[in-house]
Each structure stands twice: as structure tokens, then as C-alpha cells.
Amino acid sequence: MQIKATTNYDLFTLLDYNRPCDDITALEKNILQCNKLEMSPIIVDKNFNIIDGQHRYLVAKKNNLILYYRVDQTADCEKDIITYNKASKIWKIDDYIHFYSKKGHKTAVFLQELLDNHPITCNEIIRLFVAGSRHKSPVAHVKNGEITLTKSESDIRNILLNLKQILDLVKEKLNQTFYSNQKNTLISIMSNKKYDHVHFMSQIDKYAGEFSKAISVYRDKSQFRKSVIEFVYNRNVKNERKLLTD
């Protein structure tokens, strides 16, 4: 592909399903100190959609620098964006979800909504709510756009809303925060069919000291689960309402 040059930045289009643009400050500083844009042209398709190099494009446009580019006449944006970008910078799992959600993948749209609106990380969401298979991990399925949930969307929303209420209560009442594996353990507890959220919130309020101790002392998932269920959730309740500790 021939390298071409221009300062007509309006020729090019940034695709919203490409990964989100990070802060360009560091890249801008490097380019202004040693401009080697000619050695690293951006890649566009025949319609001048930017497939690779959106950060370099933004730096060039901001600073009125000559922009170097190659036109890949056979490029398929939907298929080649990931391929080109992986070669220049490893895609995070968040980037895959962003890409597929912008392309209208129903489950990816739902996962992006969770990331935007709930106190949970991408890795936590995938570990807890995305199905794997015999030969592929949940992460591999997400990268391929083959995303299947382990629970219904309504169940997942309810669990995360309940989690947020617990996080807010603990932060306000105990001035504490949870480790990631502790949040995962709470979600596991809340996934139990016998789980009663109103009861648990009442128990946390009533036995705040025990709950605080569990958060502070037990980072191991099994120990944290046992402590929370035994000394908070199940405390002074009838057997039929109790949850198992394992």
C-alpha cells in the first residue's frame, strides 16, 4: 500500500465502534518532540474510515501536522479493526465489549450498560455472568463475539442493584470498601434462590460489627463467605431461612 500525505483531516472518519480514544497527551508530547508520523501511517479503508491510527490522527489534526496514511482497498472495517489494532496495541477485554456493543450485538450492549452503570469491573462481569464452553473460556467467547449469559438480564440487573445497595450502606455506615473477590462472593450469595435481600440489609445494619470484621479480616473467598453467612445473614434466624456456608 502506497503511503500518502495530507492536511485535509476532514477526509477521514473516526468509527464509533473502534475502541475509545485514550488521553493523547503522552503520544502528542512524543510526536512533537520527534515527529515520525511518516514512518507510522494510519490505515484507512476505501471510504477513509480509520481502521488503525485514530490517536495519531487526533494528534496530527490538533497540531496541524502532515498526516500520513495508507488505503487498504480490501479492508472490511468490522473484521479488520480488531486485527489491525491488536498488532499495534493489545486490546483489553473492555475494548471488545465496546466494539461489539457499537455493532449492535444485543448481549454486548447489555454488558456495556452494566459497565457504565454499576460498580463492577469488566473482568468481574465476565467471570460471574458470561458462559464458557468445553474448549473456550468466557473471555475467548467475548473476544469472538460469541457472548452467552449464565443468568437472565433481569436477574443480573437485580443482583447488581442489590450489590450497589450493600456497597453504599457499608461505605456510609462502616466507611469501608470491598476487595474484588469479596464483591464476587457477595454476588454468589445473592445468586442463591433462598437469598432475601431485605433480610440481608437488615442483618448488615444490625450486626455491622461482624460484617465490618469479615471485610477487614477475610480476603479469602471461602472464609469471607462463611463469616458473612454464619455471623451476619444466618445469625438468630430460623433454620428454613438460613443459607449454607459452602
Lowest-confidence region among 19-23, 50-54, 222-226, 236-240 = 19-23
239/214: higher pLDDT: 214
Nearest to 86, CA basis, from 19, 17, 15: 19
pTM value > 0.75:
no
CA Rg value for the chain: 24
d(Cα 41, Cα 54) in Å, to the nearest integer?
Answer: 11
Q: Indicate the SS3 state at residue 13.
A: strand
Strand (E) or helix (H) holding 68:
strand 67-72
d(Cα 65, Cα 67) in Å, to the nearest integer?
Answer: 6
Contact 89, 81 (CB under 8 A): no
d(Cα 70, Cα 48) in Å, to the nearest integer?
Answer: 9
Contact 51, 44 (CB under 8 A): yes
Grid cell in block for residue 54: 485514530
Q: In the 8-state DSSP scheme, what is residue 118?
A: S
36-66, pLDDT tens digit by residue? 788 788 889 889 998 888 889 999 999 999 9
Contact 43, 72 (CB under 8 A): yes
140-187, pLDDT tens digit by residue? 899 888 999 999 999 999 999 999 999 998 988 889 888 888 998 999
| pLDDT for residue 238 | 86
